[in-house]
Amino acid sequence: MNGVSRGLGCGLTRRSANGALLGAVALALLGGGAARAQDTVTLGAVLPLSGASATIGEDQRRGIELAVEKVNADGGVLGRKLAVVVEDSGGRAQSAIDAARKLVSVSKTPVVIGEYSSGNTIPVGQYLQREGIVHINPGSSSPVIKTIGDRSFSTIGLDDVAGKFTAEAVYGMGHRKAVFLAPNNAYGQGVYSETKAAFEALGGQVVANLLYTEGQSNYRRELQRIAAAKPDVIIYSGYGQESATINREAFELGLSKTPWFGIYLSMCTADSRPETVEGQMGMEVNYVGPDGAWYRDAYQKKFGKEFATTFSGYTYDAVMMAAAAINKAGSTDPAKIRDAMAALGDYAGATGPIAFDADGQRKTQPYIVVSYKSGELKTAAR
């Protein structure tokens, strides 16, 4: 994987927690090498570039990079170049808040994109709301996010959207007896609640829910409880090295013989050995399939490989929508950008059409069912 700075074409190595370096590189590149602050409109982003979710954070950063290049190729914003200063959260809530505070107080960014984990996104969004800064959530789906306030928007569908799709897909496959496995945090609790309600409304039964504690060295106890429940299907969601550990241990225990359905399957499998997740099914954003070929092609052309997860598209859309809102507002004033964001209407994004509801949340999201085959995600028939 290319380093963060090398991805910007500057020949530097990756430093996992150096937002100032990333910002300086972005300004130098996007401003023509010697850009002055007044020649550049600067946005901010808080991403997990290090820690358990670093693979996803790097994909998110690359989505931002693609969007910045696209915006500037099309003339920039307000006749100026666009830049995004990226700060590393390390996957920790306090670090994420500190990063957001730095973007607001030092970089003076009117818009901040972030984070990934709901447990980090919620306090970051709440801080930005208090400061009067526009917040765009590109990766978290807890229902609590809709309560952040009128300056917070989401380019990703929340758990009610993802949970309904998951329940319908699993039930449509003929599964009636499910076990649910997810991290015991804001994200896991939200996606469990929404998926369970939708699955039971269809006539299915969740016979056990295992919301695990993050940071454990192994998850064999949870997996043994799953085996004892004898489910038709294991519905799960997870990320980073913890998901990789769960998949490896499930494979070793023979649990991979039971059907698995991952919510955001690319996220669930990104750090896992291919043989441990072979045959898993799940849901994904539709640009994994043929409808999103243009974004896949752009990513592959730029970085020489396919995205590891589908989360790069959400940050791409976040930057593109922020740029559109700034141009619509004719200003970098956060209050005017907020009003313009709310009035954007239907936006044709990398992750499908985006329109916001009264709470600033994405109304609908086009998903597809995928399967993991020979190291790749393949579109599956429903």
The whole-number pLDDT of residue 37 equals 58
The whole-number pLDDT of residue 381 equals 66
Residues 6+ away with beta carbon under 8 Å from 212: 181, 182, 183, 184, 219, 222, 242, 246
DSSP 156-168: S--HHHHHHHHHH
For tokens 């896949």, the residue is: 296
Alpha-helical runs (H) found in the chain: 19-30, 54-73, 93-105, 118-131, 159-172, 186-202, 220-229, 240-252, 265-269, 274-277, 293-303, 312-329, 334-342
Q: What is the mean pLDDT of each run of 10 residues along the chain (382 residues)?
A: 27 32 37 57 98 93 98 97 98 97 98 96 98 98 95 94 95 98 92 96 96 93 96 95 95 96 94 96 82 89 91 96 98 98 92 94 92 91 61
The whole-number pLDDT of residue 32 equals 39
State the architecture of 160-285+369-379 in CATH terms. 3-Layer(aba) Sandwich (3.40)
The whole-number pLDDT of residue 289 equals 61
* CB atoms inside a 10 Å sphere around CB 13: 8
Question: 355 with 362: CB under 8 angstroms?
Answer: yes
CA distance linking residue 113 with residue 144, whole number of Å: 17
CA distance linking residue 321 with residue 310, whole number of Å: 18
Q: At the topology level of CATH, where does 41-157+288-365 sit?
A: Rossmann fold (3.40.50)
The whole-number pLDDT of residue 2 equals 31
- Name which of 148, 94, 82, 104 is nearest 318 in CA terms: 82
User: Domain residue spans in the chain?
Assistant: 41-157+288-365, 160-285+369-379
Question: 157 with 170: CB under 8 angstroms?
Answer: no
